[in-house]
Amino acid sequence: MAQDEKIFADGFSFKRQENAPDFVIGRVSIKVDDAITFLRKHEKGGWVNLNAKYGRSGNPYMELDTYEPKAGESKPIEKEAVAKDLPF
């Protein structure tokens, strides 16, 4: 499979709530039967990673994160995510 080929997360829907407070990012809806089938098909080591993205239409969608580090390489950590996890 080409690395740039999108695999949409069956059974998962992400929606941004425009009138929600700033601390609310959005809502994930899960269609259980479709999601379970998708998760079982794509799990690696008990995990499935999904990315919430905006399509060209401006609508959000959930996509399978297919990134796999090469030997001796780890996935890059986003600075913002690290800063949020610090207790100070």
In DSSP notation, 37-73 reads HHHHHH-BTTB--EEEEE-TTS-EEEEE----PPTT-
SS3 of residue 22 by DSSP: coil
Whole-angstrom Cα Rg for the chain: 15
pLDDT at residue 83, as a whole number: 54
Q: What is the pLDDT of residues 26-82, one digit of tens each?
A: 899 999 999 999 999 999 999 999 999 999 998 889 999 998 888 877 766 655 555
Say what the pTM is. 0.66
pLDDT at residue 77, as a whole number: 63
